[in-house]
Chains A and B, each alone.
Chain A
Amino acid sequence: MSADSNSATDEAPERLRIVLAKLGLDGHDRGLKVVARILRDAGMEVIFLGLRQTTSSIVAAVEQEDADAVGLSMHNAGHLTLGPKMVQALADAGLDVPVVIGGIVPAEDEPLLYQAGVAAVLGPGAPATEVVEAVRAAVAQRTA
């Protein structure tokens, strides 16, 4: 950090910025709010988009917010359609930004999501530490 640093300490940590959203018609946002709090308490900046987002509204948010990752919450069995679409939409926009999916995903669907380029899938009851680690690992993989 340079001589006219504005932070209270000389080295300001690089803050991860995470876009959290629910895609499509799915009103169950309780889990997303919990995840927002978990990531905030882990020192991340959460851009909370909430309900009824589209792939293009998420792409626009990622561009403008310079987000490091996208977290999608899925409770409407749409993950196999919407997950890959999200990954594709980000790639089409020239954004190298990982997608992490949380919510209700049957075990047999997980490999399909990973194949489609989803960085991590978190099931119900995933402990806070696992959520944080999954996000950090997904971001680290990208910058590697």
Chain B
Amino acid sequence: MNIRTASLTELVEAARSGDNRAVGRLLTLVERGSAAAEEVAALTHPLRGNAHVVGITGAPGSGKSTLVGRLLAGWCQRGLRPAVLAIDPSSPISGGAILGDRIRMDDVIPEGTFVRSMATRGHQGGLALAVPGAVRVLDAAGFSPIVIETVGVGQVEVDVVAAADTAVVVATPGMGDAVQANKAGLLEVADLFVVNKADRPGAADVRRDLELMLDLAHVTGADTDDSGVYFRPQILMVTATTGTGVAEVIDGIADHLKHLTASGRLADRRAHRVKAEVRSRAHAALEQQLRHSMQSDAATAALEKAINSNFSPVDAARKIVQKITGD
């Protein structure tokens, strides 16, 4: 089969029978976000399995990719067929990117696993659309668990990880004290903490700070959801470069899935994920419409008035929105 001339149906079929070229090609189409991406979504959505989606995030250099490489090997040993989406930032200037996650995994990437590097490609909300589509392709191709690895810096990246079934946050010694650990954001989405580089000085302090933060979350009730389900994330000490503690991470991730299944939260999380994707897509469609109506005569006139007269920008915006909604 020629991968570049094959039809989408052929590609999906090949991907499901284990042809990595076809999986790779489908991911490219999804990433490009063209009409083909929509068709791929339509083809793969009904084929979704029950893949365990695991988000892994942490500061640059915290050892995420090295950890993921180890996890891949561990999962394979347990007879699973894992895949990874490793997300790295695009250059805001040239739009290019150096995707360097594979280099950390290369010694340990086992046969039968699938690793795909993905650039953020700068565009607002683009990741929020590309990632669910890519996960769907990997799920349809029979991979599980599916890891989404991101640098936990932007809201979108955090959202992507938070939307996973299991969110793993990687912390390391030397990155700040208990006050940092208490700042809102990344830590709140964690279902499992990994303290990586645990062989280095200060690792025990990181653990203590995280424990304290979790204690406080219990005092304030932040760790208990609306239906009263309480879950305290584990904190695991790991040295990813040597593999120490990785087996416990694999167990911890599996335990969290069991908790989700037993408590009925798995269905909730997945429903939330679909909802978030639908919302992102609707948002993108509306934004596209907005770009078009900004070119219209009425919009130009409204802008002109806001610039040159006392017509307020708020009223100008309302006028343009009325053009779209018809209100």
Contact = CB atoms under 8 A, between A and B. Distances in A.
Interface of B: 1-4, 20-21, 23-25, 27-28, 32-35, 38, 90-91, 93-100, 102-103, 106, 109, 111, 114-117, 119, 121-126, 129-130, 281, 284-285, 288, 291
Interface in A43-80: 43-50, 53, 57, 60-61, 63-66
Query: Size band of the A side of the interface?
Result: 35 or more
Contacts of B33: 1, 5-7, 12
Contacts of A15: 95-96, 119, 121
Contacts of B106: 49-50, 53, 57
A96 interface: yes
A20 B3 CA distance: 22
A41 B98 CA distance: 10
Contact of B38 (A4, A49, A57, A61): A4
Contacts, number: 118
A132 B32 CA distance: 22
Identify the 3 closest CB pairs spanning chains A and B, nearest first. Answer: A66-B24, A40-B96, A4-B285
Given A4-B38, A65-B116, A66-B27, A37 B21 contact: no
A48 B21 contact: no
A39 interface: yes
A43 B38 contact: no
Contacts of A66: 21, 24-25, 27-28
A63 B20 contact: yes
A49 B103 contact: yes
A118 B183 CA distance: 53
B125 A6 contact: yes
A41 B94 contact: yes
A64 B22 CA distance: 9
B126 A6 contact: yes
